[in-house]
Each structure stands twice: as structure tokens, then as C-alpha cells.
Amino acid sequence: MSRLQLQKQLVGLFLASSPSVWWSPTRRRLLSTRSLLAKRRNKKKRKMEKREDLRSILPYLPVVMRSSTLFWPSHVVEALKELARGPLHSHVDSGHILFTAIEDIRNSLSLSSNSLAPSTSLGYSLFFDELMTREESRKWFEEVVPALGSLLLRLPSLLEAHYENADKVLNVGAMIGTGLRMLDSQEAGIVFLSRELIAALLGCSLFCLFPDHDRYMKQLQIINFDQLFASLYEDYSQKQESKIRCIIHYFQRISSDMPKGVVSLERKVLPFEGDADLISYPNSNFWSTSAIPLCKFEVHTSGHIEDQSGEAVEVDFANKYLGGGALGRGCVQEEIRFMVSPELIAGMLFLTAMEENEAIDIVGVERFSSYTGYASSFRFSGDYVDERDVDNLGRRKTRIVAIDALCSPGMRQYREKFVLREINKAFCGFLYQFKYQKYQKILQENGWSSEQFDASTLTYMETSEEEISNHEFEKFQNNYQRMEQGNNIGVATGNWGCSAFGGDPELKAIIQWLAASQALRPFIAYYTFGLEALQNLDEVASWILSQRWTVGDLWNMLIEYSTKRSKGETTVGFLQWLLPSLYGHGARSFDGDG
């Protein structure tokens, strides 16, 4: 008998003769606890496999699932571990070698190199080996790449933790799933992602690890960074280099100090058919009969939307594919926003193209980069310290709404059908459904029509006690203040759907004002970017407010103008048509005659 066999036999005899030791109450409790924890883990794993949200997104993630566990294939684990050990172990110390390592990982994931843009490797080499300074390159490969290797190793566990905590009760009276999933067209829903998980997902984009074989058919944006780098080599420009520098700066920041908190990404839908719980897609009559007062209108002739310091939803002049050309050659308003706040890119992973009754709401992203210029003059200009506060859900108080305007609309933008399309798109983006529902509930509780309520909203400070009892007046004030509490968030916007999209800035300004007012936003901060066509916007808006027009009043005037414009009966802009006195003519009468 060997020594090992003898030891095992003696241990067995000891245990058999000492049940009081082995089966003590403490030991039994310990075994029971371990058994319970093991059962819970197995139950969670089984639950993970059955999750519809995970199953919907899994084909578009680089990790795999087996036996209800998410993991990297073993070859990928070894490659990421090598990267995490630094260039002395991985020998990854240049853009050329980095891309070779990326190709090896892609091969381990059975991702075809043919699916990447042809010049991707040359773009990585150009940026990291030639455009970076020697000191920048040293820090990148010695500090940032190893940190990204470690972060990607944690991706499976970050995803599992995400799904374990994904289902929450958001304080609206219903259970709402918040797990990462495919949010298809007409599927209203919200996803909450930790900022660390977003960083890991963006690391996968940098390493081009996302499967892309089915994304086009699914109406999804590109998500890997291959085209971003390939475009740099194929048609070099300083603006393309600056876009990449913004992204690289983000990775430098998060590799030294991982951000805390969460980001929410929501698909908002105005149903075409009636829904008892949601505001439906409005028709022209809805707008023409609206008695809601117009909100305050602030005009800013300089500055950027993202620089606004108040409480406002910031409008992303979006492509219907979220992000537009952010990961390609694009460099206008939406693309720039995605570069200076790269966490926005996470939405491109799972949010399919928007339809005309949809918008995308993103709350909680941080701005990391400063910049100058626009389009071809865009330049990365260094670090940006974002000092926005955090809300009670852990989101930075940066609220961005993506709404896509008509592209190259020409004269059709003046037809009522398309004016309606644009105003409903903006309304969908600006609408806070919960607040609107409270508004309707207050009407019902008081037995008021919307006309009575809105007139009171506009003039209640001037209403005498003889016209309304003290009790009713106090009840109205309390209800209105309760509705507004915590929701005094306006809209910061500008020339949406103009410039590259070709829309009429005067038309778009009025459309957004109407939509913001109808959505019960307290103000709209409008950035004209110095556009000459809007030089009288402030005066016209002030005049309209002095007339105490409602949403319906201004809508009817806009439709009258648009009809004349589409028929060729006028060629002047809406502002001059409405208030010709600013242009040396008499003021237009309210009924639109003349």
C-alpha cells in the first residue's frame, strides 16, 4: 500500500469514528449555506440562459454562452492576458503589431478579416506609429493597452452582473426591464448600462471584436472602429485624426480612472394606433386645436448646445441610424457629439434605425474632450472636465435626445404631411410621457377641459378671487406645482435638420418651439450659430409671445404659410411673412389675410 493510499484510509477511519466532529452543528450549517449558495448560483445561471433580453443581443456580442455561463474562448483569454501584462510580455508596442494581435483575437472568435474595411491595418499603423508622438505612443502601449486587456477580460463577468441586476422597478408603478437587449423599431423600452460595462463594450469596438455579419439586415449601425481608422489612411484629414484623438483620449481617461455610475438609453415611440397608456401619434387636428400656451423662447447667437448650463434636454441632430457617420467620415453636429462623449456610441450596438414616430433618449454620458471648429475644421483641443451633477439613479445630468429630420426635403418640407412628420418627430423626442399623463389626470380630477386648464396656466396669477373660489384656486396651484416639481427641464436645440440635411431653419425653429410647448417644456434655448436667416428670430418670438398665442394659433399660421410656400404664392421666409414690419412692411393680421 502506498503512503497516499494509507493516508486516505486513516482519514476515512477518523471521520467514521468522529461523527461529532464532522457533523457538528457548525459544520452542518456551513454545508447547508454552501449548498444554498450553490443552488442559487445554478438557478441564476439557468435563469441567465432563459433571459429573452440576453438571447436577443447575444448574436451581436463577441462573448459566447455555454451551460448558462458567459465567457471568452480560451485562446482569446490567453491573448487578452498577454496584452494585460504589458509590451514586455505581449510585444505589442506599435500600431502594426497591435492590429496583428487584434487579427489573432478575431480569428479565435471565427470573425473573418474580409469583413473589415480593407485599409484598417494601415490606419492603425498610421495613427499609432506616425501621428502619435513617441511619448504618447509609449504611454498608450505601456499603460492604456494593458488596462484595456484587463477590462476586456472582465467583460463576461460585467455582463453577468449586469443581467443579475437588470430588472428594476423605476418609480412609475410598473416593472420595467432594463437589461441590454436589441431594441427594435416600434419597441419602446429602456436599457441601463454601467459606465464600466460601456467602457468594456467600446474596448471591443476598438479591437473590432463585434460580429457584423447581420447588422446591415437588422438596420443596425456599424459598431467596430475599422472604418474610422481605414478612412484616416485612405483619405487623410485633420478632422479625421481629431475624431480618433477624441476616442483615444477617452480610453486614456478611463484606463487611469474608471468612471462610476450608469447611462440610460431609451427608445421612445408615439404609437400610430390608440394606446390607453401612451400619447398616440398626433394628427393635424390635434395641433390646430391645441390650447396649450407657447413656452418661453430664448435665442443664443453664439455658443454650442452642449455648453448650456441650465436644466435642458440637448438635441442631437440625428441620422435615423443613431450616430450617423460618427464611426466613418462624418463630422457635423451628431458625429462631433459622439466623439467628445464616446459613451453615446454604446447605443449604436443595439438601437436599430428610427422610424418617423420614434426618438432616442440618452441620459448620463460624460463629456471627455474639448474641441474647436466644425466639419472639416473640427479639431481635438484637449481634455474636458465635465462637472455636471448626478441624479438619484446614478446618471450624470446630461440629457440628450436624438431626433432625425427629413433629409434633403426641398419644397416637400412645406407640405402639411411633412410639417406634421417633423413636428411629431420633435414632439416624440421632447415628450415626457409620465409628466403628460399627470397633466391629463389633473384635468380629469378638476373636471376641466384642456382649454380651461391651459388658460388658467397662462393667466392664473391675474385671476381674481371673484372668478374662482379660494379652495379651487389653491387646489389648482398645488396640482400644477406638483406636476412641475423635478421636471422643469427645457430644450436646448438649434438648426435641426438644416445645414447638411438641407432644411429651412425658420420652419424648423417654429416646429421645435411648438413641439416643446406641447410637450409641456418650460422653455426652449435656441442656438442659431449666427445664421443670417435667423437674425430676427428673437424679435419675432417676443412678438408672438406678446400676442399670447397658443400652440394651435401658431400651428395654424405655420400651415397657412407652408401652404402658400408650397404653391409658390410666397417666396419669403416664415419670419418675414409673419412679421413684415421687421423687414420694412406692415404687421400681418392674426387671421393671416394679405
Three-class DSSP category at 458: helix
Instruction: Please say if 334 is a catalytic residue.
Output: yes
Among the listed residues 160, 226, 306, 334, the single catalytic one is 334
Tell me how far apart the alpha carbons of residues 429 and 492 are, in angstroms, rounded to a whole number. 12
DSSP letters of 37-53? HHHHHHHHHHHHHH-HH
Among the listed residues 316, 361, 366, 404, the single catalytic one is 316
Among the listed residues 160, 196, 226, 335, the single catalytic one is 335
* Domain boundaries of the chain, sorted by first residue: 64-277+328-397, 410-583
Tell me how far apart the alpha carbons of residues 353 and 136 are, in angstroms, rounded to a whole number. 37
**Residue 360, amino acid:** I
333 annotated as ligand-binding: yes
Any idea what DSSP says for residue 209? -
3-state DSSP helix/strand/coil % of the chain, to nearest 5:
55, 15, 35
Three-class DSSP category at 459: helix
319 annotated as ligand-binding: yes
- Residues 6+ positions from 421 with CB-CB distance below 8 Å: 356, 406
Per-residue pLDDT at 484: 40
Tell me how far apart the alpha carbons of residues 430 and 440 are, in angstroms, rounded to a whole number. 17
Tell me how far apart the alpha carbons of residues 551 and 374 are, in angstroms, rounded to a whole number. 34
Instruction: Please say if 212 is a catalytic residue.
Output: no
Instruction: Please say if 82 is a catalytic residue.
Output: no
Per-residue pLDDT at 311: 84
Three-class DSSP category at 329: coil
- Helix H, strand E, coil C: the string for 467-485 is CCCHHHHHHHHHHHHHHHC
End-to-end CA gap in the chain: 114
Q: What is the pLDDT along the chain (594 residues), one digit of tens a residue?
A: 555 454 545 434 433 444 333 335 555 555 455 555 455 555 555 578 889 999 999 999 999 999 889 999 999 999 999 999 999 999 999 999 999 999 999 999 999 878 899 999 999 999 999 999 999 999 999 999 999 999 999 999 999 999 998 876 354 444 678 999 999 999 999 999 999 999 999 999 999 999 998 899 999 999 999 999 999 999 999 999 999 999 999 999 999 999 999 999 999 999 998 776 678 999 999 999 999 999 999 999 999 999 998 889 999 999 999 999 999 999 999 999 999 999 999 999 999 999 999 999 999 999 999 999 999 999 999 999 999 999 999 999 999 999 999 999 999 999 999 999 999 999 999 998 766 656 666 656 666 555 444 434 433 323 333 333 445 444 444 443 433 434 689 999 999 999 889 999 999 999 999 999 999 999 999 999 999 999 999 999 999 999 999 999 999 999 999 999 999 999 999 999 999 988 776 555 554 333
**pLDDT tens digit string along 200-227?**
999 999 999 999 988 999 999 999 999 9
Any idea what DSSP says for residue 410? G
Rg (C-alpha) for the chain, rounded Å, is 29
Per-residue pLDDT at 443: 59
